[in-house]
Structure 1
Amino acid sequence: MTVVDAMERMSGLHPGFRRTHALGRCYDAVFTPSGAAAAYTTAAHLRSEPTPAIVRYSNTAGDPAEPDGGTPVVRGMAVKFLSPETDLVSLNVPVFMASTPAKFLDMTRALTDQPKGSRQRADAVIAFITANPESAHAFQEAATIPVPESYATIRFWAQHAFVWVGPDGTCRFVRYRWEPDAGLRHLRAEDTADWVPGHLLDELTDRLGRAPVSFTLKVQFAGPEDPTADPTQPWPDDRPEIDAGRLEIVKPVADQEFWDRTVFDPTRLTDGIELSDDPVLAYRKQAYAEGHRRRAAGR
């Protein structure tokens, strides 16, 4: 059974929708680099000139009818830089839930082989975490996510390590984080229990009708001993960082159908950025391609 099969079992089959992040909306944006990255990478979109971008916000549910409030929900922010084309995919949890593709498949089985909300499923998840203690941090983070006021007030992490190649050929491991310029703002879960699916997407569209929304791209550099192949492990907070630039989200895209069909693939990179030794990151390309193939076929 593939990971995509397991995702379909988790949320049911919803033809034409993504297997996760089914309900989302895309927005026009512009990324303006600060110039601080130019000494560390030759990637054109991080050096000097502004570049247009498309941003897609979503929650991670594979069911487009999943409510937006009430309980902890993992949410996504996918950014497609258009010149040159390269993608940055992030979630509102700092680390991933599995350290290898095989363990990720084991995790999805734990979440799908037993009925949702059942004691059997809870026991299966506990058994997975017991067998894979490195995953405990991500599960704890996901279980305690507060409900945000807006997609504009969430911090997002890209989770995986990447390699920056500098003008002199020097390679450095980095991780990315989007910090909301509006600050982190949350609501009480009980005050959001009646939110309909897509409530936060509608809120963001309304907010953009008044003013743009912006995020700062923070880039953290790995220390010599920091893990680069395991996305379940955070790097220490005292590692050096730079502000690589500012993303300004302007308005919903004119052609939602076109952009919502588009794949936001974290392995779609540009010159000056390379994949790290993280096996989960490399595997995501295959999973995204298979999910897109099934969507295009009307499945």
Structure 2
Amino acid sequence: MTPEKFADRFEQVYGKHDGFRRNHAKGVSLTGTFRSNGAGAEVCEASVFASGEFPVTGRFSLSGGMPHAADTGSTVRGLALRFELPRGEQWRTAMVNIPVFLDRTPEGFADRIVASAPVAATGKPDPARMAEFLRSHPETVKAMAYVKARPPTAGFADSTFHGLNAFRATNATGRTVPVRWTFEPGPHTPVPAPAEGDGKLFDGVVAAVEQAPLSWRLVLTVGDPGDPTDDATVPWPDYRRRITAGTLTITSAQAEAEGNARDLNFDPTVLPAGLAVSDDPLLSARSAVYAQSFRRRAGEPKQPSAVQFKEVRA
């Protein structure tokens, strides 16, 4: 499964939409800051965990390759971030609002995309094809049950976003530990729910950030020996050590356009010194497929943002 074939698989299922990402096509750009409290430096010497404040560019998105798909509460939501750090370093991370990934390997993910594609007659996946996929992927069955037991929140602003993959963190003494991270929502000013419609999730978060900044706590979970680092379908125990390392604040949202998150590749293997990839096979695959998606859309005609704020403010 080459990066080219993987990108072809998205186009096969969702169609080809010039200028848009092959997955998480529908989104809005974000700007804000991350204020580190210094606590993360205990396990990682990366500059992002030293005390200080760093500019952030981000993106809210919905999974799938249809840029104009209707917002539904069950669709996986994404939060991607780029942190600008001292000495020209960056940290990029792409997260989702489900607590585990549904596939252990890139090949499993590619096969599930096809198995879950809607058929023309019903607009839903072929039950027989999906059943056959699940019979051969028991890890996906377990992950789906774990996700189903933890239903999504009402919108982007109150979602917890999970990095899913394990990474290796090294501190100033040279000690290396496995870590996963989450961004957990802080207290937000309540806003009226937007009217129902195809863009209700994006309408809701745009209205919220226009009223007041939105915040999330960055929490590092430190793995113990024996915790899997190569299987994102398996959660670590809830009682693992957690370190609150700082606060992300989103201060504005923008329709995607030249110069903002539209043109960023949120490659999760772009890491500052002190953070490194683990043995999770999804990481190298994500990096390669994200790059392929970026190359394709960079050479295509650009289309208007899938989310237009004038629709929110009308």
TM-score (norm 1): 0.89
* C-alpha deviation, 1:256, in angstroms: 3.5
1:100-145: per-residue Cα shift (whole Å, max 9, x none)?
Answer: 1222222223224855856762222222122111112333456677
Which stretch of structure 1 is more off in the superposition, 165-174 or 60-69? 60-69
1:234-264: per-residue Cα shift (whole Å, max 9, x none)?
Answer: 1110111110110011012597332212111
Count of residue pairs brought into register by the alignment:
292
Which stretch of structure 1 is more off in the superposition, 29-38 or 143-152? 143-152
Query: Where does residue 230 of structure 2 map in the other structure?
Result: 229
Q: In the alignment, does 2:76 pair up with 1:74?
A: yes
Query: Where does residue 216 of structure 1 map in the other structure?
Result: 217
Query: Where does residue 239 of structure 2 map in the other structure?
Result: 238
Report the Cα distance in structure 2 between the residues aligned to 1:116 and 1:232, rounded to whole angstroms.
Answer: 32
Query: Where does residue 278 of structure 1 map in the other structure?
Result: 280
Report the Cα distance in structure 1 between the residues aligned to 2:118 and 2:31, rounded to whole angstroms.
Answer: 39
Does structure 2 retain, via aligned residues, the 8 Å contact 1:28–1:53? yes
Query: Where does residue 11 of structure 2 map in the other structure?
Result: 8
Report the Cα distance in structure 1 between the residues aligned to 2:92 and 2:277, rounded to whole angstroms.
Answer: 12
Does structure 2 retain, via aligned residues, the 8 Å contact 1:218–1:241? yes
C-alpha spacing 1:165/1:290, structure 2 compared with 1 (3 Å): same
Query: Where does residue 177 of structure 1 map in the other structure?
Result: 182
1:209-252: per-residue Cα shift (whole Å, max 9, x none)?
Answer: 22110000111111111110011111110111110110011012
TM-score (norm 2): 0.85
Secondary structure at 1:286 match in 2: helix
Report the Cα distance in structure 1 between the residues aligned to 2:57 and 2:211, rounded to whole angstroms.
Answer: 19
After TM superposition, list the pairs within 5 Å mapping 1:33-48 onto structure 2: 33-48=36-51
Q: Which runs of 5+ in 1 are unaligned?
A: none
* C-alpha deviation, 1:148, in angstroms: 3.8
C-alpha spacing 1:127/1:193, structure 2 compared with 1 (3 Å): farther
C-alpha spacing 1:230/1:146, structure 2 compared with 1 (3 Å): closer
Does structure 2 retain, via aligned residues, the 8 Å contact 1:155–1:180? yes
Secondary structure at 1:9 match in 2: helix
Report the Cα distance in structure 2 between the residues aligned to 1:211 and 1:123, rounded to whole angstroms.
Answer: 47
Runs of 4+ in 1 over 6 A off after TM superposition: none
Letter in 2 for 1:29: G
Query: Where does residue 17 of structure 1 map in the other structure?
Result: 20
Report the Cα distance in structure 2 between the residues aligned to 1:202 and 1:151, rounded to whole angstroms.
Answer: 10
Letter in 2 for 1:286: A
Q: Which runs of 5+ in 2 are unaligned?
A: 302-314
Secondary structure at 2:269 match in 1: coil
Using the aligned pairs only, state the percent identity: 33
Letter in 2 for 1:68: D
Report the Cα distance in structure 2 between the residues aligned to 1:212 and 1:116, rounded to whole angstroms.
Answer: 45
* C-alpha deviation, 1:98, in angstroms: 1.3
* C-alpha deviation, 1:46, in angstroms: 1.3
Q: In the alignment, does 2:22 pair up with 1:28?
A: no
Q: In the alignment, does 2:303 pair up with 1:298?
A: no
Report the Cα distance in structure 1 between the residues aligned to 2:76 and 2:236, rounded to whole angstroms.
Answer: 21
After TM superposition, list the pairs within 5 Å mapping 1:1-299 onto structure 2: 2-69=5-72, 72-83=74-85, 84-112=89-117, 114-115=119-120, 117=122, 121-140=126-145, 146=151, 148-182=153-187, 194-197=196-199, 199-253=200-254, 256-259=257-260, 260-298=262-300
Does structure 1 retain, via aligned residues, the 8 Å contact 2:106–2:281? yes
Secondary structure at 1:57 match in 2: strand
C-alpha spacing 1:182/1:128, structure 2 compared with 1 (3 Å): farther
* C-alpha deviation, 1:201, in angstroms: 2.2
Letter in 1 for 2:33: V
Secondary structure at 2:110 match in 1: helix
Does structure 2 retain, via aligned residues, the 8 Å contact 1:36–1:242? yes
Does structure 2 retain, via aligned residues, the 8 Å contact 1:93–1:141? no
Superposed CA RMSD in Å reads 2.5
